[in-house]
Structure 1
Amino acid sequence: MTSLDHVDLALLDALAEDPRATVVALADRLGMSRNTVQARMSKLDRAGVFLSYERAIAPGALGYPLEAMVEVVVTQADLPQITQRIAEIPEVIQAHGVSGQVDLVVRVAARDTQHLFDIDARILGIDGVERTETSLVMGEVIGYRVRPLMTLASRER
């Protein structure tokens, strides 16, 4: 990962505030040329700074209003194959490998509790999955964010 300077951080802050901003709008806001902003964005993109360009879509809008976190314990040697099989389940919207008592935390979306039960059964049916524990998501209390981290990084420079 590349080292970010104050210009990169200002650009990222502007993007965090307005993710839909065009290069021209960002240039105007930051007092830079369009070419400079475009070059910086390309450099940041090549460095892997941007996670995704897709819009986050609410699963509820697609008919999947119930979300849950499924903690999965696996046979360690089978982790790559298990991860691949979990990725094939369309209701899986995110997964993280973690340390501690469980190996994976899988975020799923379901139509209702019976559907959630079926999704959990599909995960449990994967060879190498030892057990799962499922928790319903009651609501997001802190959404994905990086602006406070950018503020901290700016102060530390």
Structure 2
Amino acid sequence: MTKLDRTDARLLLALCDIPRATGVHLASVLGLARNTVQARLSRWDDSHTLAPMDRLVSPRDLGYPLRAYVGAVTDQHRLEAVIDRLRDIAEVTEVVGVSGGADLQIGVSAADADDLYRVAGLILAVPGVERTTVSVVMREAIPYRTRPLIERLARENDNS
């Protein structure tokens, strides 16, 4: 089930192509009423459908070119406290709960290998973190993306 429909998908694709477009311009390009576009943009804003702007800023441009993922095994009784403490480490860019050998995968950005060592130590020092493994990103093969999913939504609803 999706919260978005074909019109939403068309509007999102237009924003992917022209991120700074005004509501009036988007309405014109898509053949929609300006109020329809504004209502959808407002709804997305209210429901946090679009990711925050900081997701668009590359850590590389901020002086942190080295990326890594830290797998962390945690004391399950302290998991939420661990996550709260990880929020305080500026170099932590994301944290996801996973199944498998680790409980958390922690995305980090660092200035260099020495800085990564320091950040990994900060993570390991969080009460409730029992052990960690670090995997350095050698190359970004497919950057985070949702456009193919948006395109699919636009196509699937074409036939209904």
Tell me the TM-score normalized by structure 2. Answer: 0.88
Q: What is the letter of the counterpart of residue 108 of structure 2?
A: V
Q: What's the counterpart of residue 18 of structure 2?
A: 18
| CA displacement, residues 97-129 of structure 1 (integer Å, 9 cap, x when unaligned) | 112221111111112111111111111111111
Aligned in 2, Cα 1:86/1:99: closer, same or farther, shift over 3 Å? same
Unaligned runs of 5+ in 2: none
For these two proteins, the number of residue pairs brought into alignment is 157
Partner in structure 1 of residue 138 of structure 2? 138
Deviation at 1:60, TM superposition (A): 2.2
One-letter identity of the residue aligned with 1:39: A
Distance in 2, matches of 1:48 and 1:155, equals 24
Q: CA deviation at 1:89?
A: 0.6
Matched to 2:65, the amino acid is P
RMSD over aligned CA atoms reads 1.8
SS of the residue aligned with 2:101?
coil
Counterparts of 1:56-67 in structure 2, within 5 Å, are 56-67=56-67
Q: CA offset at residue 86 of structure 1? A: 0.8
Letter in 1 for 2:86: I
Query: Contact (CA 8 Å) 2:93, 2:109: kept in 1 or not?
Result: yes
1:10/1:89 CA distance change after superposition, 3 Å:
same
Q: Distance in 2 between matches of 1:22 and 1:106?
A: 36
Match of 1:75 in 2: 75
Structure 1 gaps, min length 5: none
Displacement of 1:142: 0.8
CA distance, structure 1, for counterparts of residue 107 and residue 151 of structure 2: 29
Deviation track 1:61-82 (CA, whole Å, cap 9, x = no partner) reads: 2222211111111111111100
Distance in 2, Cα, partners of 1:43 & 1:60: 32
Over the matched positions of the two proteins, sequence identity in percent amounts to 46
Counterpart of 2:49 in structure 1 is 49
Q: Contact 1:2 / 1:47 at 8 angstroms: preserved in 2?
A: no
For residue 151 of structure 1, what is the aligned residue in structure 2? 151
Map of 2:108 onto structure 1: 108
Q: Measure how far apart 1:55 and its partner are.
A: 5.5
**Aligned 1:81-100 pairs, distance under 5 A:** 81-100=81-100
Look up the equivalent residue of 2:69 and give its one-letter code. M
Measure the CA separation in 2 of the matches of 1:52 and 1:141: 23
Tell me by how many angstroms 1:40 deviates. Answer: 1.4
1:111 and 1:153 mapped to 2: Cα distance? 39
- 2:79 maps to a residue whose letter is L
* Structure with the larger RCO, 1 or 2 (CA within 8 Å, 6+ apart): 2
Mapped partners of 1:54, 1:125: distance in 2: 27
